[in-house]
Amino acid sequence: MSLVIGCNSFVGRSLAKRLLQKGAPVRGMDFWRDERAPEKLEFIEGSVLDYDLLLEACAGVDVVYHLMEVRHPSRYGRRFMKKINVTGTENVIRAALEKQVQKIIVLSTADIYGKPKAIPVKHDDPKKPVSAYGRDKLRAEKICWRYIEKHGADITIFRSTFIAGAGVDDPMILIMLYMALALGDANRLYVAGDGDSLLQMIHPDDVVDAFLAAVTSPRSRGKAYNIGSDNVPTQIEQVVKLKELAKLDCYIKHLNPRCTRFLSLILRPLNIPYLSKEHILGLLSNIVLDCSRAKREINWYPRKDNIDILVETCAWYEREKL
Cα distances (angstroms) measured from residue 306 to each of 10, 268, 317? 17, 28, 16
Residue-range domain boundaries for the chain: 2-163+202-229+288-303, 171-197+233-286
Residue 176 C-alpha from the chain's centroid: 18
Sheet holding 223-227, edge to edge: 42-45, 26-30, 2-5, 63-66, 103-109, 155-160, 223-227
Sequential DSSP letters for 218-283: GGGTTEEEEE--SS--BHHHHHHHHHHHHT---EEEEE-HHHHHHHHHHHGGGT--SS-HHHHHHH
CA distance 223 to 68: 20
pLDDT tens-digit series, residues 147-163? 999 999 999 999 999 99
Quote the pLDDT of residue 263.
54
User: How many H helices and E strands in the chain?
Assistant: 13, 11
pLDDT tens-digit series, residues 204-219? 999 999 999 999 999 9
pTM, 2 dp: 0.91
Quote the pLDDT of residue 278.
59
Overall average pLDDT of the 32-43 stretch = 92
Overall average pLDDT of the 85-96 stretch = 98
Residues whose CB is less than 8 angstroms from the CB of residue 60 and which lie 6 or more positions away in sequence, other chains included: 1, 99
Residues whose CB is less than 8 angstroms from the CB of residue 140 and which lie 6 or more positions away in sequence, other chains included: 85, 86, 89, 106, 108
Tell me the pLDDT of the chain averaged across its residues.
89
Percent of the chain at pLDDT exceeding 70: 87
CA nearest 298: which of 208, 225, 222, 204? 225
Indicate the pLDDT class of residue 280, thresholds 50, 70 and 90: low
Reply yes or no on whether the pLDDT at 266 is more than 50: no
Residues whose CB is less than 8 angstroms from the CB of residue 271 and which lie 6 or more positions away in sequence, other chains included: 74, 75
Q: What is the CATH number of domain 2-163+202-229+288-303?
A: 3.40.50.720
CA nearest 96: which of 11, 5, 187? 5
CA distance 121 to 129: 13
Indicate the pLDDT class of residue 91, thresholds 50, 70 and 90: very high
CA distance 24 to 37: 16
Overall average pLDDT of the 164-178 stretch = 79
